[in-house]
A = this chain, B = another copy of it.
Amino acid sequence: MKSLKLSKPTESEMEILQVLWEKGACTVREVHEILLETKDAGYTTTLKLMQIMHDKGLLKRNDEARTHIYTSMVKKESIQKQVVTKMINGLFKGSPAKLVMHALGNHHASQEEIREIKNYLDEMESQASIEGKVNSKK
């Protein structure tokens, strides 16, 4: 029975997680440099945030050396899932299809990507029809 609360990361925490997902293990300095590209904050602000995230169990760190190395403890996929789920239940009221069309309508997808999605949909359909037959009682 695991208890510790998985409250979703805050906005700033997300920014840090994204750097760590992309770069892997990083020092505060490294994360901070990257954040500076898109926002404007002091070094100790980033430091403090990462310390808090460590306290919360969102990051682990290696502090054998003076300069600590941080790594994400949460998987990108699980946060993606969490965020997408929330969005479908809230803004898109239970219809993943609406979200999908919105995403495709407003953001460019290559022919390649479109093919990929179609294949995916084909698989879903054949899966669905098999299950439809197998589970026809319930």
Contacts and interface: CB of A to CB of B under 8 A. Distances in A.
Interface of A: 14, 18, 22, 76, 79-81, 83-85, 87-88, 90-93, 95-97, 99-104, 106-109, 111, 113-114, 116-118, 120-121, 124-125, 128
A106 B86 CA distance: 12
Given A79-B91, A102-B81, A102-B84, A124 B97 contact: no
A106 B84 CA distance: 9
Contacts of A125: 111, 114
Contact of A121 (B22, B76, B102, B114): B114
Count of chain copies: 2
A29 to B, nearest CB: 22
